[in-house]
Amino acid sequence: MKFKRILLKLSGEALMGNQQFGIDPEQLSSYASQIKDVVKEDVQVGIVIGGGNIYRGLQGAGKGMDRVQGDYMGMLATAINSLALQGELEKIGVRVKLLSSLTLKPIAEPMSRKIAIDYLEEGKVVIIAGGTGNPFFTTDSASALRGVEIEADVFLKGTRVDGIYTADPEKDPNATKFSELSFDEAYDKNLKIMDLTAFTLCKENSLPVYVFDMNTPGNLLKVIQGEHIGTIVK
C-alpha cells in the first residue's frame, strides 16, 4: 500500500448524484463500498464531508443572511452527511466512529486528536463532522486541519474531476491535466485546488494533496495502491 493513513475529503455536492438536492442513495452506497475496500487493505481512514448538497454559508450570505449564522448552518449540514455515511458504512459491516467539532450529543463524540488517532489505530473509520467548529472556514480548511492533526500520509480530495487541469475541463475542451505539481507551482499558476487557508496549511505541514475522481467506483483503491490516476501536489 502506498498510503497507510489517509484523510479523505468528500464533496457534499457529489453526494447529490443526479439529484438537485440532498443525498442520492446510490452515490452514498458507492462511496461506502469504496471506503470498505480500502479498510479491508488495513488502511486507516479519516473522513471529512462537505455540506453543499444541503446548505452553503456563503450562498446564504450572498442573499443577505448573516455570514456567521449561515456558516453554522453549513456545519450542521456536514453533520447530516456524516451521519448518512456512518449509517451506510455500518450497514455493510464497517466499524465507524463519528466525531464532531460542534457539540452534538448524543450522536457524535467531541473531536479530539488523541481519540481520533486511537480509533484509527483500532481499525475504525473516523468521520469528523462540523468543519473546524468556527465560521469563516471551509470544509477544505477543516480537512487540511484534520489531516495534519491525525498525521495522515496524504489529503485525498475526492471530486468528480480526475485531477487538476490548466482550466476547468468541464468548460474548456483544451484544458490539460497535471500529473504532479509542487505547492509553489500550483500557487504561481493560480490553480483553484482549494481555498488558500487549506492550501497553506497543507504546504506548511508537508501534507501532500491528491486530487482524483471519486465518482468512478474503484478509484479510491487504485490511489491507495499507488496507481497514478489523479494529480498530486507536494
The per-residue pLDDT of the chain, averaged, comes to 93
Domains by residue range for the chain, with CATH: 5-233 (3.40.1160.10)
Q: Residue 116 pLDDT > 90, yes or no? A: yes
Strand order in the sheet with 44-49: 109-110, 96-100, 125-129, 44-49, 5-10, 154-159, 209-213, 231-233, 180-181
What DSSP character marks residue 133?
A: S
Reported as a single tens digit per residue, the pLDDT across 128-153 is 999 999 999 999 999 999 999 999 99
Q: Contact 197/184 with Cβ under 8 angstroms? A: no
Q: Residue 161 pLDDT > 90, yes or no? A: no
Give just the sign of the alpha carbon dihedral 6, 178, 160, 219: negative
